Amino acid sequence: MSQFFMSILIIVFGGFLSLILARQFKLMKMVAVFSLSAGCFWGLFDAVTKLMQSGSDAASFKYLNVFSLAFQIDGLSAFFLVVIFAVCLVAVIYSFHYMDHSGEAVRTAVHYFFFSILIASMALVVTAANMITFMLSWEIMSLSSFFLVIYNYESSENRKAGYLYFVFSHVGAMFIFAAFGIVYGYTGSFGFGAMDSIPETAKIVVFIFSFIGFGSKAGVFPFHVWLPHAHPAAPSHISAVMSGVMIKIGIYGIVKMYTLLNFHTPLFGNIVLVAGVVSGILGVVYALGQHDLKRLLAYHSVENIGIILIGLGIGMIGVSSGNPLMAVLGFSGGFLHVLNHSIFKSVLFMGAGMVLHKTGTRTIDALGGLLKKMKITGATFIIGSLAICGLPPFNGFVSEFFIYIGGFKGIGLENSAFVMSIFAIISLAVIGGLALACFTKVVGVVFQGEPRTKAAVNVDEKGSTMLASMLILAGACIFIGIFPGAFIQMSIKAVSALGLGYGHVPLEPFGQMTANITFAAMVFLVSLLVVIAIRWFYYRGKTITKSGTWGCGFTQPTAKMQYTGSSYAASILEFFSPAAPLDEDHPKIKGRFPEKTYYKSHVNDIAELNMKGVIVNPVLFIFDKLRWIQHGDIHLYIGYILLAIVLLLFFI
């Protein structure tokens, strides 16, 4: 445990140092990046060792003589620690060249400070062993990330995003508090251990409350509204950390509650699976309709959280219907997807960050042809896209494969488990297809073709640390995709820490499956090499000419005539129009020589659309009625304080 605390200390210390050195821009950056990455590396090393030895480690401190702060690292926390430290390590390295506005030295220093706090608090959340510790770290995590979201506070849009995030994370925290409160009401202790002794109905309520609370952090539909606003607002490496890691802490919370409650009703599995299916499909549909590159990626986080929840849901159904293989497949697939998503989503956000950094725009339809100038960024972005679509031989495929196999195990069952499994498999297939459509759109419109505006013409990709971190992550995508063995073992270790009552989970069938994946990937790669050889053979000594694209008879094509992202997605969006209503704005074209015209479209998120009517307006109505409390008279306010103190004394 001391190793873990040392790494946390180094990270936080680095954050403080950056505040002290705020005047020296270069030095501050170097010190901050060095100490943060050193801390992350140490923590990563420690977490991997702990996970592989599958030991459990605990420590506790007294705080204010009343509460004890308790920490524990078991397989599950170690797995999430690996994810946290691995992605943060790369994100910190990336930030070195990304944060290059020396005029904003103080702001950068503050950003490093909050970044270090965010990493530390995330690590503390997953190791927390009682409610007080958990909520304390949880709140620190929410607050530090809030300050990172409003990094560019000048723009009102970002302030609004930060505000939305603030509200959502605190309403979510309120639900978690409520859940913990119910537990405390029954057990009278802040410890996690006594949670499985509460009555079953209370367990259901606690689970649903905590699912809403953690789900709002994880970005589960319909609690995801903050996510597409907040993620694009932050600097890109922070978006990567938030999208790749922080929302997974919500997943950790859901799994942790499931484990602690130790109540294996089919209801939990069904709730989680249905939420997963809805977030998965709607997340990717909304992503398809976005025009902002980072918003699009943010919606894909909703989608991938959906996939993870489908995996977990299959696992829970497997547990409740007494099918150990299905349970382990579902859970380990879900956990592996947590790791995989954190990797490829970080690549994608970093690639988007590079694009934003060099072109100054996030609008997809303003870009084009970037692959020619930004070879490494483009290549890593394409690898990330292939991985997020779940295509072999990349890492996304491995975790989806596990979830699929788990789902098919459920097909052999009866009644609701059977129906739910059908539901899960079909929606996974649809999500896969939609993700493919979405990322061919992004890759095709942003990186290929010809530049659509001036912003995309003169670009380069300088910044060695940025390129290096993207290459590391893209390499990881390929490596996990071809040799998933060790990573699957890691996720199975995490599953066995859930204490599902199967004792030691046998690794043998999974070893066979990973061997199959490796084998199939190898078969594909060997045939790829053969085909490349054949192609090379046929192109020996041939004349290769360059010429313009065939315009189907039209001789004056311009870059403006290219297919845009909006038109690319239009027909698919129309299919989903009941769930994703499209607002269009364009004037009618009149006359033989029409004036310059425009076209605007916006896909409405039904959660966002209905949030106003269902929640915001009634709440405003109630608060309106309470406005008389705010009278403006200072004596009255002192009176309120007096009243509050008297009441408190009365109750205590």
Sites for other proteins among residues 513-552 (CB under 8 A): 513, 516-517, 519-520, 523-524, 527-528, 531-532, 535, 538-539, 542-552
Options 43, 250, 368, 463; binder of other proteins; rule CB under 8 A: 368
Give how far the C-alpha of residue 289 lies from the chain's centroid of Cα atoms, to the nearest Å: 19
How many angstroms separate the CA atoms of 261 and 267, rounded? 13
CB of 85 to other proteins, least distance (A): 30
Q: Which of residues 77-136 bind other proteins (CB under 8 A)?
A: none
Q: Which of residues 386-405 bind other proteins (CB under 8 A)?
A: 386, 389-392, 397, 400-401, 404-405
Contacts of 297 (CB under 8 A, 6+ apart): 231, 239, 243, 287, 345, 348, 349, 352
Asked if the bond preceding 228 is cis, omega within 30° of 0, the reply is no
| SS3 (DSSP) at 129 | coil
- Cβ proximity to other proteins: between 108 and 304 the closer is 304
Stretch that binds other proteins, among 228-236, 481-489, 563-571, 618-626 (CB under 8 A): 563-571
CB of 391 to other proteins, least distance (A): 4
Q: Which of residues 183-222 bind other proteins (CB under 8 A)?
A: none
The one-character DSSP state at 453 is: S
What's the CA gap between 225 and 67, in Å, rounded? 35
Q: How far is the CB of 531 from other proteins (least distance, A)?
A: 5
Our CB check for other proteins shows the closer of 63 and 575 to be 575
Min separation Cβ 419 and other proteins, Å: 9
Window 404-433: contact mask with other proteins (x via CB under 8 A): xx--x--xx---------x--xx-xxx-xx
We find the least distance from the C-beta atom of residue 340 to other proteins, in angstroms, to be 14
Instruction: Please tell me whether the peptide bond between 222 and the residue prior to it is cis, using omega within 30 degrees of 0.
Output: yes
C-alpha dist (Å) from residue 180 to 194, 205, 288: 12, 11, 38
Tell me the C-alpha distance between 630 and 431, whole Å.
Answer: 50
According to CB under 8 A, which one of 178, 325, 371, 471 is a site residue for other proteins?
371
Within 584-623, the residues that bind other proteins by CB under 8 A are: none
Q: Map residues 464-503 to x or -, x wherever contact with other proteins holds by CB under 8 A.
A: ----------------------------------------
> What character string, x for contact with other proteins (CB under 8 A) and - otherwise, covers 314-333?
--------------------
Paired tokens of 584: 């269009």
Smallest separation, CB 318 to other proteins (Å): 16
The least distance separating other proteins from the CB of residue 449, rounded to whole angstroms, comes to: 4
Give the number of other Cβ atoms within 10 Å of residue 612's Cβ: 10
| Residue 230 vs 437, nearer CB to other proteins | 437
Q: Is 567 in the site for other proteins (CB under 8 A)?
A: yes
Quote the CA–CA distance of 27 and 17 in Å, as a whole number: 10
Separation of alpha carbons 333 and 310, rounded Å: 9
Nearest CB to other proteins, comparing residues 535 and 625 = 535
Rounded distance, CA 486 to CA 488, Å? 6
Residue of the chain from 468, 559, 579, 606 that contacts other proteins (CB under 8 A): 559
CA 32, 34, 40, 43 dihedral sign is: negative
Instruction: For residues 474 and 133, give the distance between their C-alpha atoms in angstroms, rounded to a whole number.
Output: 35
C-beta of 445 vs 473, nearer to other proteins: 445
551: which 2 tokens?
């315009």
Tell me 363's DSSP state.
B
Other beta carbons within 10 angstroms of residue 418's beta carbon come to 15
Q: Give the shortest CB-448-to-other proteins separation in angstroms.
A: 4
Minimum distance, C-beta of residue 237 to other proteins, in the bound complex (Å): 26
Interface segment toward other proteins; rule CB under 8 A; list 23-31, 133-141, 349-357, 569-577: 569-577
CA distances from 519 to 482, 525, 534 (A): 8, 10, 22
67 exposure class (CB count in 10 Å sphere: 0-12, 13-18, 19+)? middle
Phi, psi of 534 (to 5 degrees): -60, -45
The piece of 192-200, 359-367, 562-570, 618-626 that touches other proteins (CB under 8 A) is: 562-570
| Six token digits for residue 570 | 């239009």
Smallest separation (angstroms) from other proteins to the CB of 415? 10
> Smallest distance from the beta carbon of 39 to other proteins, in angstroms?
38
Nearest alpha carbon to residue 473 among 94, 31, 54: 94
Which residues between 21 and 80 bind other proteins (CB under 8 A)? none
DSSP 502: S
Residue list 7-26, contact with other proteins (CB under 8 A): none
3-state secondary structure of 483: coil
Q: How far apart are CA 643 and CA 625, in angstroms?
A: 21
Place of tokens 């820490």: 497
Closest approach of other proteins to the CB of residue 122, in Å: 32
Nearest Cα residue to 151 out of 166, 162, 167 = 162
CB of 585 to other proteins, least distance (A): 21
Smallest gap from Cβ 447 to other proteins, in A, equals 8
The one among 191, 511, 557, 581 contacting other proteins by CB under 8 A: 557
Site size toward other proteins, by CB under 8 A: 79
Token pair for residue 234? Answer: 């932050």
Q: Does 443 bind other proteins (CB under 8 A)?
A: yes
Based on CB atoms, which residue is closest to other proteins, 445 or 500? 445
Chain residues 348-367 in contact with other proteins, contact rule CB under 8 A: none
